[in-house]
A and B are shown apart, each in its own frame.
Chain A
């Protein structure tokens, strides 16, 4: 998986270059921008708060983030992940917010959108000054500002550029070329006029930050307040979201392309990123040709539990001349491994994997297959599913293919594996 990270760094260098040249060519206006940041900060600082989840036992803060007033009713917008520990365990935690003058008050939860990572909480501050939401898209390169309280250091404002919506992604997110830091999550990203265009949510490294488009916040506040069954609400949202992603994909056979002597699934969704590479090392004595696609979107559930990972991976392997059939299969044993989903490590969130292995025949060719599933303990309709297969009828050539998804329903997972298997055929 060295390629994606390589690309990210290439992209950040390019973005840095764009940013620098922009600064050089527009240096006369730099002062104006800075003074705008200054005036925006002094104008809006009353509406941006620090949000705290307080551990009831110790009485001290457990997690922190930022939030901002969005109505004269005292509604504060923030991220789901800022208040998630409270949502998962309302008995153990409570919500608090800190105003710009340092005064503290308690808040309650109104609604949240786990997929978009948004939450709305109720404060006591029914004041006339609040931030207005403007979901109109901006132009690439437009200067935008983000406010928040990084690392509990105090309220700050940073500036950067709006760089459009992410291209290959399951969810719409704004690429913000500025440096968000932890603690700023849930803070507002505003345009030159001081209107909210997005909500700070995450970062992808140097100067790469992501914002939730303001339209989703608008949708969330238009919904009625939630009742107390937060876990059921989360499960339903996750189920609906995976249906929305997988059902169009699974409605028809996968589009295909060729790798080695086989037909394989090509890029089956625009939300995926696909890569290829080949290996030819003296040590291994076989040639490997890889193609893999994955979605880089994750939905945050808890600090050690994410869902949304989806990938498939093909490796066409050919033995070099001096490798006998035993040696060849012994070598590809090391490739016959399930993908590491990397989304949950603790027994509190998922069950153990259960696996099934067998030989199957597809198009008169033999494959060894292994499928493993694990169940989410709090969301019993959802699973992590892994499927692995290797052709076993040629003495010196083999295809190792794998597919997997986290946070998928049983029905979608079974159809996904079916589609995957039927798209994989030898070309002779």
Chain B
């Protein structure tokens, strides 16, 4: 015979405190004589009684009886009067300002989620490898800055640049370690560090290709689109890892995508809002990359001038004068 389980709150995974009955009555109220004692001033001394009765087909059914109607009791959001009402598994009760959930012990639970790469979630995940990866990413970041943008002037600058990169990753990972400590009582610092570093590495690798693509497309718009996409995807992937290690949120992927979308969206909207409607300077793609990275074809000067003339024709103001 199944048992009846009463949980505090409305969340499936919120398991304590809990009351379990094999068939005997459960009384709920503020008085200390009850089985479940609620310290809620809007709950009566003897507010409700939950009891079982045999029904047809040898099944046990559960019912709730409201004993005091000073404040109404809500069953799945609907007030129930001083009457006997049947209860079902996963029903929600609100008494005064207290929420309770009712479950039958034979209630089916959701299928077990598969834990990807078990070792990632272990407390024994070391710091050595993540620290090494983080250092390599910081070194690579500084090196690519000097190899692709400007030649190295001094090793002091290089060291500063490397340390700065490392500090950014460390601070980010540390913040998430603290969040993990709060929400899961585990920092998972090693994991945070390793995955933050790897996502940074990904962005570092994609970045030059984004430049090359903008250079070849001659399009500032495509350049913006690429930058925003890389930022959005990068942040979403990073947050997905950060959230999954630091919190117990069910849908980390959806959450990470949403947060990244909102942050990048707000940034973009702010940028667009603050841009002046009138600018005395032209806006165009200024990116240049070496000849070896150029794959776009060339037009002829005549074709270019023809399309330029077409662009000039399209000025709103530049319409043929009416006679």
**What are 11 A-B residue pairs whose CB atoms fall within 8 Å in the complex?**
A324-B147, A325-B291, A330-B150, A353-B279, A354-B311, A354-B314, A356-B307, A357-B285, A370-B284, A373-B315, A375-B316
Nearest neighbor of A415 in chain B, beta-carbon distance: B305
Q: Determine which of B148, B313, B318 lies in contact with A327 in the assembled complex, contact meaning CB atoms within 8 Å.
A: B148
Q: Which of A17-25, A128-136, A150-158, A385-393 contacts B (4 or more CB under 8 A)?
A: A385-393
Give A391 to B318 CA distance when docked, in angstroms: 32
Q: Which residues of A contact B289 (CB under 8 A)?
A: 326, 329
A381 to B313, CA, bound (A): 10
Smallest CB separation, A400 vs chain B (Å): 10
Q: Which residues of B lie under 8 Å from residue A377 when comparing CB positions?
A: 317
Are A383 and B304 in touch, CB under 8 angstroms? no
CA distance A340 to B218 in the complex (A): 21
* Complex Cα spacing A322 to B151, Å: 8
Q: By the criterion CB–CB under 8 Å, are B290 and A417 in contact?
A: no
Residues 276-298 of B, flagged 1 when their CB comes within 8 A of A and 0 if not, give 01111111111111111010111
Contacts of A372 in B (CB 8 A): 282, 284
* Docked pose: A366 CA to B295 CA in angstroms: 11
In the assembled complex, B109 has its CB within 8 A of some CB on chain A: no
B284 touches A338 (CB 8 A): yes
Complex CA–CA separation, A372 to B278 (angstroms) = 15
Partner of A323, one of B151, B277, B291: B151
Q: How far is the CB of A372 from chain B (nearest CB, A)?
A: 4
Cα distance, A256 to B278, chains bound together (Å): 38
Contact call B288/A330, Cβ cutoff below 8 A = yes
- Complex alpha-carbon distance, A323 and B282, angstroms: 30
Are A359 and B298 also in contact (CB < 8 A) when A338-B281, A340-B281, A354-B315 are?
A: yes
Distance in angstroms between the alpha carbons of A344 and B147 in the assembled complex: 40
Q: Is the CB of B315 within 8 A of A395?
A: no
Q: How far is the CA of A380 from the CA of B321 in the complex (A)?
A: 9
With A330-B288, A359-B296, A390-B288: A353-B218 Cβ-Cβ less than 8 Å: no
Answer yes or no: B149 CB below 8 A from chain A CBs.
yes
Q: Pick from B284, B297, B300, B313: contact of A355, CB below 8 A.
A: B284
- Majority DSSP secondary structure for residues of B touching A: loop
Task: Tell me if A101 counts as interface (CB < 8 A to partner B).
Answer: no
Whole-angstrom distance between the alpha carbons of A359 and B216 in the complex?
A: 8
Name the contact of A347 in the complex, choosing from B278, B282, B287, B300 (C-beta under 8 A).
Answer: B278
Provide the bound-state CA to CA distance between A375 and B312, in Å.
8
**Is A285's beta carbon under 8 Å from chain B?**
yes
**Are A380 and B319 in contact, CB atoms less than 8 angstroms apart?**
yes
Q: Do B297 and A375 have beta carbons less than 8 Å apart?
A: no
Nearest residue (CB) in B for A370 is B284
B299 at the interface (CB under 8 A from A): yes
Asked if B218 and A410 make an inter-chain contact with CB atoms under 8 angstroms apart, the answer reads no
**Interface 1/0 per residue, B94-110 and A, CB below 8 Å:** 00000000000000000
Nearest residue in A to B320 (C-beta to C-beta)? A380
The reply to whether A361 and B298 form a contact with Cβ atoms under 8 Å apart is yes
Q: Is the CB of B312 within 8 A of A410?
A: yes
Chain A residues with CB under 8 Å of B301's CB are 360-362, 418, 421-422
Contact A357 B151 (CB under 8 A): no
**Minimum CB–CB distance for B218 against chain A, Å:** 4
Q: In the complex, what residues of A have CB within 8 A of residue B281's CB?
A: 338, 340, 353
Q: Could you give, for residues 326-358 of chain A, a 1 whenever the CB lies within 8 Å of some chain B CB and a 0 otherwise?
A: 111111110011101000111100111111111
- Return chain B residues, CB-CB under 8 Å to A354: 311-312, 314-315
Q: Which of A285, A362, A383, A422 contacts B151 (CB under 8 A)?
A: A285
Q: Which residues of B contact A126 (CB under 8 A)?
A: none
A373 touches B311 (CB 8 A): yes
A329-B288 in contact (CB<8A): yes
CA distance in complex: A13, B317 (Å): 47
Q: How far is the CA of A355 from the CA of B315 in the complex (A)?
A: 12
Q: Can you list, as one digit per residue, whether each of B209-238 has a CB less than 8 Å from chain A (1) or not (0)?
A: 000000100111000000000000000000
Q: How distant is the Cα of A340 from the Cα of B321 in the complex, in angstroms?
A: 30
Q: How large is the interface on B (under 10, 10 to 19, 20 to 34, 35 or more residues)?
A: 35 or more
User: Which residue of the partner chain, among B151, B277, B279, B291, contacts A394 with CB atoms under 8 Å?
Assistant: B291
Within 8 A of B (CB), among A397-423: 410, 413-414, 417-418, 421-422
A317 to B321, CA, bound (A): 46
Say whether, besides A338-B282, A372-B282, A330 and B148 are in contact (CB < 8 Å).
Answer: yes
Report how far A386 CA is from B282 CA in the complex, Å. 9
Cβ of A367: which chain B residues have Cβ within 8 Å of it?
298
Min distance, Cβ A383 to any Cβ of chain B, angstroms: 7
With contacts A338-B282, A351-B315, A358-B218 taken as known, whether A414 is within 8 angstroms of B309 at the C-beta atoms is yes
Whether the Cβ atoms of A358 and B283 lie closer than 8 Å is: no
Closest CB-CB distance, A403 to chain B, in whole Å? Answer: 13
Q: In the complex, what distance in Å separates the CA atom of A330 from the CA atom of B147? A: 10
Q: Tell me the nearest residue of chain A to B311, going by C-beta.
A: A356
Asked if B308 is an interface residue, CB under 8 A from chain A, the answer is: yes
Measured CB to CB, the nearest residue on chain B to A285 is: B151
**In the complex, chain B residues whose CB is within 8 Å of the CB of A421:** 301
Which residues of B lie under 8 Å from residue A325 when comparing CB positions?
290-292
B36 vs chain A, min Cβ distance (A): 70
Q: Please name all residues of chain A whose beta carbon is closer than 8 Å to the beta carbon of B285 when the two chains form the complex.
A: 357, 370
Q: Which 10 A-B pairs have the closest CB atoms?
A: A347-B278, A372-B282, A361-B298, A325-B290, A353-B282, A357-B218, A375-B315, A355-B284, A329-B288, A326-B148
Residues in B whose Cβ lies below 8 Å from that of A369 = 304
Which residues of A sit under 8 angstroms from B296, Cβ to Cβ? 359
Check if B288 sits within 8 Å of A360, measured CB to CB: no
Residues on the A chain within 8 Å of B312, using CB = 354, 373, 383, 410, 413-414
Q: Which B residues lie within 8 Å of A376 (CB)?
A: 317
With known contacts A333-B287, A395-B291, A360–B315 Cβ distance under 8 A:
no
Is there contact, CB below 8 Å, between A336 and B304? no
Q: Nearest CB to that of B146 among chain A residues?
A: A327
CB distance from A287 to the nearest CB of B (A): 15
Given A360-B299, A360-B301, does the pair A355, B148 have CB atoms closer than 8 Å?
Answer: no
Tell me which of A326, A332, A338, A358 contacts B147 (CB under 8 A): A326
Cβ-neighbour of B149 out of A327, A356, A360, A375 (below 8 A): A327
Q: Which residue of A lies closest to B321 (CB)?
A: A380
Between B281, B283, B288, the greatest number of chain A beta carbons within 10 A of the residue's beta carbon is seen for B288
Instruction: Assess A375 versus B318: contact at CB under 8 Å? Given A414-B309, A422-B301.
Output: yes
**Known A327-B150, A354-B314, A380-B318; further 12 A-B contacts with Cβ < 8 A:** A325-B290, A326-B289, A329-B290, A354-B312, A354-B315, A359-B296, A366-B294, A367-B298, A373-B312, A390-B288, A410-B312, A414-B312
Complex Cα distance, B297 from A296, in Å, reads 39
A352 pairs with B147, CB closer than 8 A? no
B284: A residues at CB distance < 8 A: 338, 355, 357, 370, 372
A333 touches B288 (CB 8 A): yes
